[in-house]
Amino acid sequence: MIFGIKRCKNILPILLVVVALLALASCSDEVLDDGGTGGAVGTGGYVTGNTAVSGNEPATTTDQLEILSPDPTETEDGSTQDGPEIITLPATTTAQTVLDLVIGDAPDELYADAANTLKADFLKTGKSDAIIMRMDDKVVLIDTGDSDDYDKISGYLDDYGITTVDVMIITHFDNDHVGSASKLIKNYAVKTVYTPDYIRDSSRYRALMSAVDETGGSTKLLKISEDVELDMGYGSIWLNTTQLYPTGQTLGSDAANEFAEENNYSLIATVTFGDTRLLITGDAERERMQEFKAVLTEKGASLDYTLVKMPHHGSYTKGIDDILRAVTPRYCVICTDSGTGAEAATVTLMRAVGAAAYYTYDGDVYFVTDGESSVLTTSK
């Protein structure tokens, strides 16, 4: 898709690239798609720096197409002006790939004049989840990392000028998802917190409950056991809850150990924004992912997802296999550290469905869309 090209200030270089690309397409019988990784170490193959490559077929790294810049031209005052920069593209590519490569680390410029934008930051917080979403004028936090990730999260909120959080979603109460929630509630105006309906016997859980109580009712806590649809203006969020276990039971402890049952309590969020859908899976394991796939099938819900936040920091589960093959996302994001990485089977699966794989240990992962086209980059 090339909807966003007209919004760029320096349009000529981009148009030259696209015209050359389309000319190449007209002379070839190949499908101009390529798969890719977001520069992650050890995933092999088709790396294009810090921007995603979309599509289904792996590009080769040895067969390249070079679009050369014109010779310098003389201006009216006698000085010379360089032509557009040389852009090297994979031999098979798409218009979306051209946008990704040209926009690079400044995707906001592409959508500066868009009527609606969704911006999602998947923060580099190690083996934990912390996601900031700005859906036009609405702010959503999905998980809050560990307790030592507060400064990172609050730094981003402050840089964006955010003082009010409309929705905080805690997918489950593991320490690496609920860690900074209590402090964020104490220091920002958090309107509503959504959590699964169980109790975690841990200090982080108790701190969250206390922080909500201390707001005197200005922060509403909703433990949900049935699906909820949130109206976010142009967009929406569907929160899917598990029916695998009884509600209200007590699990866990202060220890860092993770229980499969608790992971399977994870709320699964579908974020819809125009034609763009994001799937945020918490730490869901096999049984939970299979349950969600059955719900999608029963509802006749759309299986078209642009981005999937992979469950449980890249651990492989057979349940995600069925989901990923069904929804064939353009991008996959894994929130993890370099020491843990992703399991080989997970990497193989993402490659098999043609998804561009992004890892937060490479840097904060930044996604932006106007609901039609999208760009994703990694910042070091």
Report the C-alpha gap between 366 and 347 in whole angstroms.
Answer: 20
268-273 vs 276-280, strand pairing mode? antiparallel
268-273 vs 374-379, strand pairing mode? unpaired
Look at residue 350 in the predicted model and tell me its pLDDT: 87
Residue 366 in 3-state DSSP?
A: strand
Look at residue 241 in the predicted model and tell me its pLDDT: 97
pLDDT tens by residue, 316-340: 676 678 888 888 899 999 888 876 7
Report the C-alpha gap between 147 and 150 in whole angstroms.
Answer: 6
State pTM to two decimals.
0.76
Report the C-alpha gap between 28 and 31 in whole angstroms.
Answer: 8
Q: Give the pLDDT band (50/70/90) at residue 102.
A: low
Q: Which of 152-161, 164-173, 292-301, 358-367 has the lowest mean pLDDT?
A: 292-301
CA atoms within 13 A on the CB side of 134: 18
Domain boundaries, the chain: 3-34+55-103, 107-379
Residue-averaged pLDDT of the chain: 77
Query: Which CATH number is 107-379 given?
Result: 3.60.15.10
Report the C-alpha gap between 282 and 171 in whole angstroms.
Answer: 6
For residue 280 the two structure tokens come to 């945020």
User: Who wins on pLDDT, 53 or 364?
Assistant: 364
H or E stretch covering 45: none
Q: Which of 92-106, 118-132, 149-163, 213-227 has the lowest mean pLDDT?
A: 92-106
pLDDT tens by residue, 192-250: 999 999 999 899 999 999 999 999 999 999 999 999 999 999 999 999 999 999 999 98
First to last CA, the chain: 27
8 Å CB contact between 32 and 25 = yes
